[in-house]
């Protein structure tokens, strides 16, 4: 089945440091890939996405490139801020979700999450 | 602009008690789901629904029950609470075509402790 593996956390950085959070996946077919962010006390919200190989998703200074050859979707930001402190989740959706039925229908597979803390 | 609303935000139960977590969305989304979030395990799908009257099981459905009588509401019932159900629960919804792009809209979560 599908799976997502994120780098172990927590990650602690100083403001303006460079951020990388690694994400690799295992999937049948050709999934879409996502990063979600969860700020303290809130629900998850979509940060960025990529739906095909070599696509780059970007938002709020964060970027991630869909690398099919390495089955990866690493999250990067050139200069983090204290306000970026949150939990980050990598996720994928099965390309066949609409047709397959069964347990893959309507399912996003999430990684375990990486806690990021940015200090002033 | 309510989005997805979950109640209660916090709940403490004793083993064997039953309760219902409420979820409502005002975006006319066809798809609704419940996830549980546990440390080091990410989010795991409990149940989901693709429309009123239609529900299906996710990865970890045991001990939970759902129904979908209206488009707006998708309650999650714990039949006989166990300490293993201590978790943070998230309700999420999407328009069905948005699912292929992964755009789930999440509530703020309900933190449940079972003693």
Whether the pLDDT of residue A6 is over 50: the answer is yes
pLDDT of residue A20: 97
Q: What is the pLDDT of residue A96?
A: 52
Nearest residue, CB atoms, A108 vs list B41, B104, B108: B104
Q: How far apart are CA A98 and CA A107, in angstroms?
A: 10
pLDDT number for residue B86 = 97
> By CA distance, what is A35's nearest residue in B?
B102
B75 pLDDT exceeds 60?
A: yes
Chain A residues touching residue B43 (CB < 8 angstroms): 44, 89, 110
The yes-or-no verdict on residue B91 having pLDDT over 60 is yes
All residues of chain A having their beta carbon less than 8 Å from the beta carbon of residue B108 are 41-43
pLDDT higher than 90, residue B42: no
Higher pLDDT, B106 or A93: B106
Q: Which residue in the block uniquely carries the two structure tokens 């998230």?
A: B90
Residue B30, pLDDT score: 85
- Which B residues 84-113 touch A at CB under 8 Å? 90, 92, 99-104, 106-109
The HSE-up count of residue B72 (CA atoms within 13 Å, CB side) is: 5
Give the mean model confidence (pLDDT) for residues A42-52.
Answer: 90
Q: Is B104 in Cβ contact with A46 (below 8 Å)? A: yes
Which of A50-54, A57-61, A92-96, B37-41 has the largest mean confidence?
A57-61
pLDDT band, very low/low/confident/very high, at B101 (cuts 50, 70, 90): low
Alpha-carbon span A76 to B101, nearest angstrom: 21
- Residue among B23, B38, B47 nearest B85 (CA): B38
Q: Which residue has the tokens 């996720």?
A: A91
| Percent of all residues in chain B with a pLDDT value above 70, rounded to a whole number | 93
> Cα torsion at B29, B41, B19, B2 (round to 10°)?
-30
What number of CA atoms fall less than 13 Å from residue B35's CA on the CB side? 24
Residue B78 has pLDDT above 90, yes or no: yes
Strand A23-26 to B54-57 pairing: unpaired
Three-state SS for B63?
A: coil
Q: Map residue B100 onto helix, strand or coil.
A: helix
How close does chain A come to B75, measured CA to CA in Å?
17
Please, are residues B4 and B95 in contact by the beta-carbon 8 Å criterion? no
The confidence score (pLDDT) of residue A119 equals 96
Return the minimum-mean-pLDDT range out of A44-58, A62-76, B70-84. Answer: A44-58
Answer whether B58 touches A (CB < 8 Å).
yes
- Per the omega criterion (within 30 degrees of 0), is the bond before A10 cis? yes
| Chain A contact for B42 (CB, 8 A cutoff) | yes
């Amino acid at each position: 089945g599908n799976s997502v593996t994120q780098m172990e956390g927590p990650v602690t950085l100083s403001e303006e440091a460079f951020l990388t959070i690694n994400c690799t996946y295992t999937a049948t077919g050709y999934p879409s890939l996502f990063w979600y962010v969860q700020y303290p006390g809130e629900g998850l919200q979509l940060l960025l996405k990529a739906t095909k190989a070599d696509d780059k998703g970007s938002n709020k200074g964060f970027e991630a490139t869909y690398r099919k050859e390495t089955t990866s979707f690493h999250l990067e930001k050139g200069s983090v801020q204290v306000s970026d402190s949150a939990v980050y989740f990598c996720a994928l959706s099965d390309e066949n979700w609409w047709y397959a039925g069964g347990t893959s229908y309507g399912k996003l597979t999430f990684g375990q999450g990486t806690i990021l803390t940015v200090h002033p | 602009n309510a989005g997805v609303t979950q109640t209660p935000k916090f709940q403490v139960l004793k083993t064997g008690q039953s309760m219902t977590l409420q979820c409502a969305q005002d975006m006319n989304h066809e798809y609704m789901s419940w996830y549980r979030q546990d440390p080091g395990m990410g989010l795991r799908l409990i149940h989901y629904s693709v429309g009123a009257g239609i529900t299906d099981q996710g990865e970890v459905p045991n001990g939970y029950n759902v129904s979908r009588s209206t488009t707006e509401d998708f309650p999650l019932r714990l039949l006989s609470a166990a300490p293993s159900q201590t978790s943070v629960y998230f309700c999420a919804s999407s328009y069905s075509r948005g699912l292929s792009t992964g755009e789930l809209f999440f509530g703020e979560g309900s933190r449940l402790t079972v003693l």
